[in-house]
């Protein structure tokens, strides 16, 4: 057992025995020990990544309106959305899918717009995809956001040559047919591409392959994905969804010890009551709230299960888990195209985001990137748009509050807390993580999963003393409160002062159904 863990355990026992006599005092039941001078791995900023698919109004209307639009834009990308996204410090953006990626032929989306092929978006509503948003537009978007590109290649219906050419077109500074083509299309210098995925969900929409078949195919593709002109690709192999540990085992056994891929993806959506009737995003009861939280917490077990397999083949943790699709998936909003996956976003989704981001932080040793599905107008998005209007969702605010963890060092914590009980089921009522940034500021992020009661938690802060503490809280009057185009500021963070600090012990009272982030300055 690591020394820091032993220290935490001893401290926990001491503080627990000291406070356990006060039976009525909730702060005795809820305790979070934070050790500020025993740190863990660095939390990759890429855990806070996003996902933009050619699906519904994520790209078209949401991010991209075109240069001729009346909606104010920069090179066709709408300004309101762009400026809002800059505030949450998007570290990387995944594109063009999702399932769309394995139908996407990148040469359809380059060159003069009037000559680009119009195709059918077979996965998402059968609508016409005119390819007006392609490689150059995506790379411009990443440049304007100041984020890294995460491009998902086509294995399912593409070819090795097509994928190899795309990498050359994007990243090579040498003389070649692909680099000449790029220059003809207006981009002289090669771009940098950080992440490149070799297919998406190849066990399903990406080709219905077995793990063995995919593993062989992936190795073939990977062999031809070059590192050009100083660009180092972080190649992401298609991983499993949920608890499909067999897929991970096969890939790690077959290709995990060779330099065929650097990251393995995982997808996990929380879907209450299964894929048939998934429930409404805003009209739900406490059973659905509880079930959502319970499913969200499963992310921890899923990561632990896949990590344990990876540990056997890669004990040095040279390969990362890339949770490149996660979030809540509900029925579409009534009256909208079922193929567009447009859903509202409530206080429930804010708590969901906090739970996931805390879990990813806690697994910073293995989880190197993650991407919320999706960025705008699709599934658990951070932004919704309607014509020229824009709304920031409760999930957006959690990303804004949690941005302080990006590239910070994970701190060791020990959390003991009461249960949130519903019917005959129970889950922990609190989610938490903590980090210290390069300036020595400590950030603690917490969520109270219980929609019915405030919770007080005692936090002995061991290691350093702090002079100044500030905080923010995100909560709402109802569990289904949400921001609409008519009332965009219903769920928004405000300054938080529900804490005291005495003799190195913080006491925090979180409102019911809330997310709190505290900053401690020495």
Closest alpha carbon to 106 in 149, 60, 59, 170: 170
Does residue 288 have an active-site annotation?
Answer: no
Q: How far is the CB of 185 from ligand AHR (least distance, A)?
A: 27
97 binds ligand AHR (CB under 6 A): yes
Type and span of the H or E element at 249: helix 245-255
Residue 469: Cβ within 10 Å count: 19
201 binds ligand AHR (CB under 6 A): yes
Answer for which of 49, 56, 62, 98 binds ligand AHR (CB under 6 A) is 98
325 binds ligand AHR (CB under 6 A): yes
Contact characters 181-200, ligand AHR, x per CB under 6 A: -------------------x
Q: How far is the CB of 52 from ligand AHR (least distance, A)?
A: 10
Task: Find the part of the chain contacting ligand AHR (CB under 6 A) among 97-105, 463-471, 476-484, 500-508.
Answer: 97-105
Does residue 325 have an active-site annotation?
Answer: yes
DSSP string, 264-318: EEEEEEE-TT-SSS---SSS--HHHHHHHHHHHHHHHHHHHHHHHHHHHH-TT--
Q: Minimal CB distance to ligand AHR: which residue?
A: 98
506 binds ligand AHR (CB under 6 A): no
239 binds ligand AHR (CB under 6 A): no
Query: In this structure, what token pair is assigned to residue 350?
Result: 């804010």
Compute CA 431 distance to the chain's CA centroid, rounded to the nearest angstrom. Answer: 17
Nearer Cβ to ligand AHR, position 267 or 443?
267
Nearest 5°: the CA angle 52, 55, 57 is 85
Q: How far is the CB of 178 from ligand AHR (least distance, A)?
A: 27
DSSP letter, residue 331: P
Residue 127: Cβ within 10 Å count: 16
148 binds ligand AHR (CB under 6 A): no
Nearer Cβ to ligand AHR, position 129 or 168?
129
53 binds ligand AHR (CB under 6 A): yes
Task: Find the part of the chain contacting ligand AHR (CB under 6 A) among 104-112, 293-301, 372-380, 496-504.
Answer: 372-380
Residue 226: Cβ within 10 Å count: 13
**Cβ-based neighbours of 354, under 8 Å, separated by 6 or more:** 398, 402, 431, 445, 446, 447, 515
Query: In this structure, what token pair is assigned to residue 465?
Result: 């003393």
Contact 515, 395 (CB under 8 A): no
Nearer Cβ to ligand AHR, position 168 or 325?
325
For residue 87, CA distances in Å to 76, 397, 473 come to 20, 10, 17
What is d(CA 421, CA 39) in angstroms, rounded to the nearest whole number? 33
Nearer Cβ to ligand AHR, position 64 or 326?
326
> Mapping DSSP to helix (H, G, I), strand (E, B) and coil, where does residue 349 land?
helix
Q: Which of 53, 129, 168, 201 is catalytic?
A: 201
Task: Find the part of the chain contacting ligand AHR (CB under 6 A) among 2-10, 91-99, 283-291, 483-491.
Answer: 91-99
# chain residues binding ligand AHR, by CB under 6 A: 10
Positions 99 through 118 that interact with ligand AHR (CB under 6 A) = 99
Contact 135, 170 (CB under 8 A): yes
Nearer Cβ to ligand AHR, position 54 or 182?
54
Answer for which of 155, 373, 376, 517 binds ligand AHR (CB under 6 A) is 373
Q: How far is the CB of 325 from ligand AHR (least distance, A)?
A: 5
Which residues in this chain contact ligand AHR in the complex, by CB under 6 A?
A: 53, 97-99, 200-201, 325, 373-374, 379
Catalytic residues: 201, 325
């Amino acid at each position: 057992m690591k020394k820091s863990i032993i220290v935490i355990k001893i401290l926990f026992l001491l503080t627990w025995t000291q406070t356990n006599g006060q039976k009525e005092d909730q702060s005795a039941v809820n305790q979070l020990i934070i050790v500020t001078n025993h740190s863990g791995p660095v939390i990759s900023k890429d855990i806070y990544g996003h996902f933009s698919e050619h699906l519904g109004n994520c790209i078209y209307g949401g991010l991209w309106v075109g240069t001729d639009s009346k909606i104010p834009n920069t090179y066709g990308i709408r300004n309101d959305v762009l400026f809002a996204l800059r505030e949450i410090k998007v570290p990387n953006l995944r594109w063009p899918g999702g399932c769309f990626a394995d139908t996407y032929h990148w040469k359809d989306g380059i060159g003069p717009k009037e000559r680009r092929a119009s195709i059918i978006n077979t996965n998402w509503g059968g609508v016409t995809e005119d390819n007006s948003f392609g490689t150059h537009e995506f790379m411009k978007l990443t440049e304007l956001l100041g984020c890294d590109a995460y491009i998902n290649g086509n294995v399912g219906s593409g070819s090795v040559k097509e994928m190899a050419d795309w990498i050359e077109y994007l990243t090579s500074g040498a003389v070649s047919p692909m680099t000449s083509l790029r220059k003809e299309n207006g981009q002289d210098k090669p771009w940098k591409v950080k992440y490149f995925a070799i297919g998406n969900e190849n066990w399903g929409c990406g080709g219905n392959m077995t793990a063995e078949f995919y593993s062989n195919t992936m190795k073939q593709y990977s062999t031809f994905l070059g590192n050009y002109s100083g660009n180092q690709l972080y190649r992401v192999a298609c991983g499993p969804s949920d608890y499909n540990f067999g897929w991970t085992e096969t890939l790690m056994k077959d290709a995990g010890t060779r330099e065929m891929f650097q990251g393995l993806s995982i997808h996990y959506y929380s879907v209450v009551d299964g894929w048939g009737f998934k429930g409404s995003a805003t009209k739900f009861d406490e059973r659905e709230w509880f079930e959502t939280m319970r499913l969200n917490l499963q992310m921890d077990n899923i990561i632990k299960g896949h990590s344990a397999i990876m540990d056997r083949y890669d004990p040095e943790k040279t390969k990362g888990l890339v949770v490149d699709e996660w979030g809540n998936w509900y029925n579409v909003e009534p009256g909208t195209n079922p193929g567009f996956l447009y859903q509202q976003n409530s206080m429930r989704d804010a708590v969901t985001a906090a739970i996931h981001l805390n879990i990813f932080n806690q697994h910073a040793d293995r989880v190197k990137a993650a991407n919320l599905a999706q960025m705008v107008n699709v599934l658990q998005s951070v932004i919704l748009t309607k014509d020229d209007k824009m709304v920031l969702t409760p999930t957006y605010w959690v990303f804004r509050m949690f941005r302080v963890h990006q590239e910070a060092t994970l701190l060791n914590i020990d959390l003991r807390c009461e249960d949130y009980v519903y019917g005959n089921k129970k889950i922990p009522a609190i989610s938490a993580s903590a980090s210290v940034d390069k300036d020595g500021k400590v950030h603690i992020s917490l969520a109270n999963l219980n929609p019915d009661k405030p919770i007080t938690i005692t936090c002995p802060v061991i290691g350093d003393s702090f002079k100044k503490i500030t905080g923010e809280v995100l909560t709402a009057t109802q569990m289904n409160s949400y921001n609409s185009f008519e009332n965009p500021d219903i769920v928004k963070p405000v300054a938080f002062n529900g804490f005291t600090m005495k003799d190195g012990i913080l006491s925090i009272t979180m409102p019911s159904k809330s997310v709190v982030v505290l900053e401690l300055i020495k």
